[in-house]
């Protein structure tokens, strides 16, 4: 672990190479980035892009793997758009996406700040807190289903009862199912975000804290003026991930409520699942997914453009 | 210049670390909020309360998972703090179903897959973060777009590619190689490493170049060490992602002997004759390796950077 | 600058190349599956069964195929898949390399047939045709009269009751639906387990929309009340969920949720897994489910704690259970059609059925035999199996439509809604359901 990695200094290199300006060197410089990108590009093209393009193609067909696909043009898209739950699903997807990502970033940030440090016991605590992120979603859903047992004797109900709040139906009522799913989603993602933020915090210059303290800044002030600016990179990652993953929210909804009760938690992915995958209609499923893809691409581009503008301005 | 560059080297400040440890004084500036630095009994109390609340919220439900995994017939209606009818049967049941074969497969796939993934992602990130070329944004967007389609949709097209890889015409189905190679492509790792590498100041790179270091040397000795936290992140998450993979192993496996652990666990779950206890026990077994990796990786980058790394 | 342009160009070329390769290589996944495949009477039969690997039923399946090979000399390769079965099947279809035999749910048959995956059975040339119960043949017959599989397993459902609770409260076995109401109320309000806490309920109901469980549960009650999903002949159906009988049944269950409040909490989002647990752990005392749970409950609860009875007759005067089944499907494109036929014949033979029933042990694949000459108690001693056989005699399968899944989903969602929302109007909801089903019938070409 104590690897001494040192930058080769002029003393070490005996060949005395000078920065190159010859045409051969220039060519090398322009080819180099592509050499570094090559392994990724190859793997991505073969295992990601080719299947993706095929999936997009599938959205225009009635997919029959054995008999051969039949062209149906926009029919699959029509089936998705005209479903009565479609608009509701979009609304729910946005609410859940925004809620889960904002919530988990906020709480992840709080957790990271609280659990930062080198003390031995912090390692253990951080590991324990990280478990939700690595536990299988199916099992997380089972546990929370037990915790959110709708009767007054249920664990969560007992807990909120201590604070004087009445028993809630949680997953079983259209009014509270959305919040319940959100809670589980945030609970599982916050440690994930915490991890990434901790990595960012580790790179913050400690002397700046000392300097800020000398200037009379309290801990919260320090966080605001010293830490946050230095977390730009990490926050950018999180926001990009949020844009990409947010609209795809599926597993927790599927396992906890399957979109119910009465479509209260129906999201795009559960709709795609019902209309497409459960019925073996791959064409419809692809069409729905392409809609999702387009929306996500637009969102990601907007988010990253906004991020770059901000960076330029500051 | 030399003295500054050598300060970037980790572990170089051994003397400082030793001094600090000997003093056993909590440095109030080692973290943003400086919780560690609040002295005396008041600090202990504050820290205790905070940690207790955090653990209750995030580790509490996991404790319930453990309790139920050791209970013979877990109740779905309430939770108990100690197992009702304590038993090892659930774990025995999970282990009974050939779990060691699946574990072995999982370890092989993750072991090789993670190395491949890290190498590929780090190289790509280097190009994307340090080189300015038009089309860079587009490449980044394309890479990110691979994370936007659900894997169920990609399953059949992917399976066709796996059965007959273009140009080299190789059949990857039916062997663990088929589970390892595709895993090398993951947008998340590239995204994270790109961002972390962007943070490395350009001066260091220029310094190295003036000193005569070639492209590879710059990459390996200058940029990479400074992105240790990023490496830690992609190792942990990469491990997790490959470990939990479901669709790819499902498509590649032609026999249950090739299953990885998640596949086996899902089967446990859909087997109605088994009690929920066995499923929970299986889940506990499955999350242990991820935790161990997390512990190790934490050590790696937490220790390294807190010993006075200087930025630029 | 020129270098940058070169890079840009390179990128554009790479992308274009990718498109070209993909579109060229996958132009519509080429049609033409099957045709005439060269036959080889000695080639090994690839058999897929929908059971979890290494599970007791998987072991039984292996015993079965081994016995088949020993008897006929035809080699077999067994693959057990449970989770991801559909995906693997689609994968095989996409690669034009289907297994020879699939043993799968009857409800999946229409779907597979629609996709051209199965070879239809010609009953007139099928040697064991008259060995199979006619009722079972019906469920393997499509609306156009083609038979798409050979029945191998039949299954019915019955009511599991907490015997200890019933005896504690001094109740008799229920014989009418009113008796059921009384028992449910007693279980909920009178502390049948005697622990002084108000933590028990009457009914355990998997009312989730996941995989259409609410509909699956409701079917028996719909039938027993004298109702049905459709009326008319296969191929010209009309939805009848809004008929008084079905509305009455749906209302009856809504009352359990809303008026008597005798349903175990959480039912609205329960699929069968938490429902099994709820019964096991004593959350509810009345659970309508299948024989596969007996082995599990015997172990977790003890065989004396619960009893199995046929559902009492409903308002129609009859007790009609939902019937389900599994079929041996002969897949298209096989190299050994003679072998396929032999396998199917062995599956319905007395010898084959006995192996698959596995006596009273766990790991049974056949619950109620489809062989007309067999009585379930020939191979078993546990008398509770007799209940399921009796229930099967008067049981009803789901309607014969090309794809039952959408209908099941619709019905499940409608039921889930009216049971979750006590103010919901059952009649109106059922009428809306009928409208939706009508549209789907037309889309599938099975409507009147």
**Among candidates A66, A150, A262 on the partner chain, residue whose Cβ is nearest the Cβ of C417:** A262
Chain-chain contact of C277 with B255 (C-beta, under 8 angstroms): no
Calculate the average pLDDT of chain B.
Answer: 80
Q: Is residue A20 part of a domain?
A: no
Query: For the segment C330-372, what is each residue's pLDDT rounded down to a tens digit?
Result: 999 999 999 999 999 999 999 999 999 988 888 899 999 999 9
pLDDT over threshold 60, residue B306: no
Tokens, residue C369:
């035999």
Q: Is the pLDDT of residue C147 over 90?
A: yes
| Residue A196, domain CATH | 1.10.3720.10
Query: Region C238-243: what's the mean pLDDT?
Result: 95
**Mind telling me how many Å the CA of A227 is from chain C's nearest CA?**
37
Name residues 143-202 of chain A within 8 A of B (Cβ).
Answer: 143-147, 149, 151, 153-155, 187, 190-192, 195-196, 199-202
| Total H helices, total E strands in chain A | 15, 2
Cross-chain Cβ contact A260/C406 below 8 Å:
no
pLDDT at C210: 87
Longest Cα pair distance anywhere in chain C, in angstroms?
94
Six-digit token pair at A246?
């947010």
pLDDT digits (tens, 9 = 90+) for B154-185: 999 999 999 988 888 889 998 899 999 999 99
Question: Are the beta carbons of A280 and C332 separated by less than 8 Å?
Answer: no
Among candidate residues B221, B257, B243, the one with its CA nearest the CA of residue B287: B243
Q: Please state which of the ranges A78-92, B67-81, C336-350 shows the lowest mean pLDDT.
A: B67-81
C-alpha neighbours within 13 Å on the C-beta side of residue C207: 28
Fold of B95-311: MetI-like fold (1.10.3720)
- Above 60 in pLDDT, residue A111? yes
Q: Which domain holds residue A256?
A: 83-313
Residue A54 lies in a domain: no
Residue A48 lies in a domain: no
Residue C221 in tokens: 């009650």
Angle, alpha carbons C425-C430-C435 (nearest 5°): 130
* Radius of gyration from C-alpha coordinates of chain A: 25
Hey, is the C-beta of B224 within 8 angstroms of any chain C C-beta?
no
Residue among B48, B58, B137, B292 with most chain A CBs within 10 A, to mutate: B58
Closest C-alpha among B268, C283, C297, C419 to residue A146: C283
In this prediction, residues C362-389 reach a mean pLDDT of 90
Residue C239, helix vs strand vs coil? strand
Delimiting residues of CATH 1.10.3720.10 domain(s) in chain B:
95-311
- Interface membership of C274 toward A (CB under 8 Å): yes
Render pLDDT for A144-186 as a digit per residue (tens, 0 to 9).
988 998 888 888 888 888 888 888 888 888 888 999 999 999 9
Structural domains of chain A, count: 1
Per-residue pLDDT, C440: 92
CB A5 within 8 A of CB B6: no
- Chain C CB contacts of A41 under 8 Å are 14
Q: Is A261 inside any structural domain?
A: yes
- Helix, strand or coil for residue C54? coil
Give the model's pLDDT for residue A117. Answer: 81
Q: Identify the closest residue of chain A to C197 by CA–CA distance.
A: A153
pLDDT 10s digits, C188-205: 999 998 888 888 999 999
CA angle B268, B274, B278 (to 5 degrees): 65
Contacts of A308 (CB under 8 A, 6+ apart): none
Chain B nearest CA to C341, separation (Å): 25
Record: contact C283-B133, CB cut-off 8 A: no
pLDDT of residue C419: 94
Predicted confidence (pLDDT) at residue B17 exceeds the cutoff of 60: no
Q: Does the CB of C2 have a partner CB in chain A at under 8 Å?
A: no
Residue B277 in contact with partner chain A when CB distance is under 8 A: no
A243 found inside a domain: yes
Task: Indicate if the pLDDT at residue B110 is higher than 50.
Answer: yes
Collect all residues of chain A within an 8 Å Cβ-Cβ radius of residue B294.
Answer: 127, 130, 134
Q: Nearest Cα to C369, choosing from C346, C343, C350, C344? A: C350
With helix as H, strand as E and coil as C, how does B139-150 read?
A: HHHHHHHCCCCC
Q: Hey, are the CB atoms on A71 and C28 less than 8 Å from each other?
A: yes
Contact A44 B286 (CB under 8 A): no
Percent of chain B topping pLDDT 90: 26
Cβ separation of C28 and A142 shorter than 8 Å? Answer: no
pLDDT at residue number A251 = 87
Token pair, residue B58, equals 């995030």
A205 belongs to a structural domain: yes
Contacting residues of C for B83, CB less than 8 Å apart: none
Task: Read off φ and ψ for residue C326, nearest 5 degrees.
Answer: -125, 145
Is A267 part of the contact surface with chain C (CB cutoff 8 Å)?
no
Is residue C4 over pLDDT 50? no
The span from the CA of A247 to the CA of A276, in Å, is 18
How far away is chain B from the Cα of C216, in angstroms, using its nearest Cα? 16
Q: Which residues of A touch C208 (CB under 8 A)?
A: 258, 260
Mutate to test the interface with A, among C109, C204, C269 (most CBs of A within 10 A): C269
The percent of residues above 70 in pLDDT, for chain C, comes to 92
Mean pLDDT of chain A: 84
Between A213 and C203, the higher pLDDT residue: C203
**What confidence score (pLDDT) does residue C32 get?**
41
> Is residue B227 within 8 Å of residue A266, measured between CB atoms?
no
* Token pair in block for residue C359: 């006596």
**pLDDT at A11 (0 to 100):** 40
State whether residue A228 sits within 8 Å of chain B by CB. Answer: no
Model pLDDT, residue C14? 56
Mean pLDDT of chain C: 88
What is Dmax (Cα atoms) for chain A? Answer: 79
The predicted-structure confidence for B230-265, as pLDDT tens digits, reads as follows: 888 899 899 989 998 889 999 999 988 899 888 888
Instruction: Inspect the interface and report whether the beta carbons of B185 and A300 lie closer than 8 Å.
Output: no
Q: What does B44-68 look like in DSSP terms, one character per residue?
A: HHHHHHHHHHHHHHHHHHHHHHHHH
Kindly state whether residue A140 falls inside one of the protein's structural domains.
Answer: yes
pLDDT score of B307 = 38
Residue whose C-alpha is closest to residue C318's, from C229, C400, C391: C391
CA distance C265 to chain A (A): 6
Q: Is C55 left (phi over 0), alpha (psi -120 to 50) or beta?
A: beta
The H-or-E segment that residue C103 falls in is strand C101-105
Q: Which of residues 248-287 of B touch C (CB under 8 A)?
A: 250-251, 254-256, 259, 263-264, 266-276
- Cβ <8 Å between B152 and C300: no
Instruction: Please check whether residue B195 touches A, CB under 8 A.
Output: yes
Q: Which of C188, C268, C273, C429 to mutate to test the interface with A (most CBs of A within 10 A)?
A: C268
What value does the mean pLDDT take over residues B74-101? 81
Whole-model pTM? Answer: 0.86
Span A178-190, pLDDT tens digits: 999 999 999 999 9
On whether the CB atoms of residues C146 and C101 are closer than 8 A, the answer is: no
């Amino acid at each position: 672990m104590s690897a001494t990695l040192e930058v080769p200094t002029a003393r070490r290199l005996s060949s005395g190479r000078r920065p190159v300006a010859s045409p051969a060197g220039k060519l090398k410089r322009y080819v180099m980035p592509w050499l570094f990108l090559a392994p990724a590009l190859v793997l991505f093209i073969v295992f990601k892009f080719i299947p993706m393009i095929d999936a997009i193609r599938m959205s225009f067909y009635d997919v029959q793997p054995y008999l051969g696909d039949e062209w149906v043009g926009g029919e699959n898209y029509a089936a998705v758009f005209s479903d009565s739950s479609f608009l509701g699903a979009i609304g729910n997807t946005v609410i859940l996406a925004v809620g889960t990502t904002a919530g988990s970033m906020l709480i992840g940030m709080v957790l990271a700040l609280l659990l930062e440090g080198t003390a031995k016991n912090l390692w253990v605590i951080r590991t324990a807190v990280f478990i939700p992120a690595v536990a299988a979603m199916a099992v997380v859903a089972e546990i929370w289903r037990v915790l959110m047992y709708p009767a007054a004797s249920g664990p969560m109900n007992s807990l909120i009862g201590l604070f004087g709040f009445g028993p809630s139906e949680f997953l079983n009522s259209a009014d509270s199912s959305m919040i319940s799913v959100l809670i589980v989603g945030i609970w599982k993602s916050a440690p994930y975000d915490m991890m990434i933020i901790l990595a960012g915090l580790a790179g913050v210059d400690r002397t700046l804290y000392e300097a800020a303290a000398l200037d009379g800044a309290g801990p919260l002030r320090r966080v605001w003026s010293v830490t946050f600016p230095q977390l730009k990179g990490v926050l950018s990652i999180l926001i990009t991930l949020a844009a990409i993953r947010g609209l795809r929210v599926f597993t927790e909804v599927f396992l906890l409520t399957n979109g119910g009760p009465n479509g209260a938690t129906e999201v795009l992915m559960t709709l795609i699942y019902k209309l497409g995958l459960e019925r073996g209609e791959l064409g419809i499923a692809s069409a729905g997914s392409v809609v999702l893809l387009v929306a996500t691409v637009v969102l990601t581009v907007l988010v990253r453009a906004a991020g770059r503008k901000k960076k330029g301005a500051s | 210049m030399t003295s500054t560059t050598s300060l970037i080297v980790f572990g170089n400040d051994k003397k400082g670390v030793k001094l600090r440890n000997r003093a056993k004084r909590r440095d109030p500036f080692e973290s943003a909020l400086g919780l560690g630095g609040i002295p005396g009994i008041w600090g202990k109390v504050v820290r205790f309360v905070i940690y207790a609340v955090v653990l209750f919220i995030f580790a509490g439900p996991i404790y319930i998972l453990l309790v139920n995994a050791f209970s013979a017939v877990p109740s779905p209606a309430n939770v108990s703090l100690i197992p009702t009818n304590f038993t090892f049967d659930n774990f025995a049941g999970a282990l009974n179903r050939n779990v060691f074969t699946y574990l072995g497969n999982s370890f092989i796939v993750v072991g090789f897959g993670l190395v491949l993934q890290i190498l590929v992602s780090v190289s790509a990130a280097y190009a994307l973060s340090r080189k300015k070329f038009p089309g860079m944004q587009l490449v980044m967007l394309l890479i990110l777009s691979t994370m936007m389609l659900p894997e169920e949709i990609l399953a059949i097209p992917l399976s066709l590619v796996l059965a007959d890889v273009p140009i080299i015409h190789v059949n990857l189905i039916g062997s663990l190689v088929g589970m390892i190679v595709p895993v090398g492509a993951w947008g998340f790792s590239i995204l994270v490493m790109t961002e972390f590498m962007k943070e490395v100041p350009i001066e260091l790179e220029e310094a190295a170049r003036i000193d005569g270091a070639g492209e590879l040397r710059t990459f390996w000795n200058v940029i990479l060490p400074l992105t240790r936290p990023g490496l830690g992140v992609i190792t942990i998450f990469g491990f997790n992602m490959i470990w939990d993979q479901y669709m790819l192993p499902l498509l590649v496996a032609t026999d249950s002997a090739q299953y990885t652990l998640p596949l086996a666990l899902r089967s446990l779950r859909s087997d109605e004759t088994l009690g929920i206890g066995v499923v929970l026990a299986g889940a506990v077994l499955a999350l242990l390796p991820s935790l161990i990796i997390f512990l190790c990786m934490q050590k790696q980058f937490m220790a390294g950077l807190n010993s006075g790394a200087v930025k630029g | 600058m020129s270098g940058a342009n070169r890079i840009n160009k390179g990128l554009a070329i790479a992308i274009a190349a990718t498109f070209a390769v993909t579109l060229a290589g996958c132009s519509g996944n080429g049609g033409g599956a099957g045709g005439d495949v060269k036959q080889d009477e000695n080639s090994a039969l690839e058999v897929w069964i929908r059971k979890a690997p290494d599970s007791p039923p998987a072991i039984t399946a292996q015993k079965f195929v081994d016995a088949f090979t020993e008897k006929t000399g035809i080699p077999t390769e067994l693959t057990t898949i449970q989770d991801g079965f559909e995906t693997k099947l689609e994968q095989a279809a996409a690669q034009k390399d289907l297994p020879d035999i699939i043993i799968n749910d009857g409800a999946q048959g229409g779907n597979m047939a629609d996709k051209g995956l199965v070879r239809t059975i010609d009953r007139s040339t099928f040697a064991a045709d008259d060995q199979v119960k006619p009722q079972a043949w019906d469920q393997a017959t499509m609306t156009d009269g083609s038979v798409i599989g050979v029945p191998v397993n039949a299954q019915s459902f019955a009511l599991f009751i907490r015997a200890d609770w019933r005896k504690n409260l001094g109740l008799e076995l229920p014989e009418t639906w009113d008796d059921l109401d009384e028992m449910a109320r007693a279980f909920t309000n009178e502390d049948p387990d005697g622990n002084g806490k108000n933590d028990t309920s009457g009914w355990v109901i998997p009312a989730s929309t996941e995989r259409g469980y609410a509909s699956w549960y409701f079917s028996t009650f719909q039938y027993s009340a004298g109702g049905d999903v459709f009326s008319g002949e296969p191929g010209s159906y009309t939805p009848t969920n809004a008929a008084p009988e079905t509305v009455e049944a749906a209302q009856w269950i809504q009352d359990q949720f809303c008026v008597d409040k005798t349903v175990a909490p959480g039912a609205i989002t329960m699929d069968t897994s938490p429902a099994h647990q709820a019964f096991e752990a004593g959350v509810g005392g009345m659970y309508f489910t299948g024989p596969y749970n007996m082995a599990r409950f015997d172990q977790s609860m003890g065989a004396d704690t619960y009893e199995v009875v046929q559902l009492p007759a409903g308002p129609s005067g009859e007790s009609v259970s939902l019937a389900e089944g599994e079929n041996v499907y002969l897949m298209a494109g096989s190299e050994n059609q003679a072998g396929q036929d032999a396998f199917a014949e062995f599956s319905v033979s007395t010898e084959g059925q006995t192996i698959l029933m596995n006596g009273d042990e766990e790991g049974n694949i056949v619950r109620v035999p489809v062989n007309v000459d067999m009585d379930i108690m020939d191979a078993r001693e546990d008398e509770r199996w007799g209940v399921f056989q009796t229930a099967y005699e008067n049981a009803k399968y789901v309607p014969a439509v090309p794809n039952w899944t959408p209908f099941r989903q619709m019905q499940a969602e409608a039921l889930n809604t009216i049971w979750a929302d006590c103010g919901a109007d059952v009649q109106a909801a059922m009428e809306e359901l009928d409208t939706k089903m009508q549209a789907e019938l037309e889309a599938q070409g099975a409507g009147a």
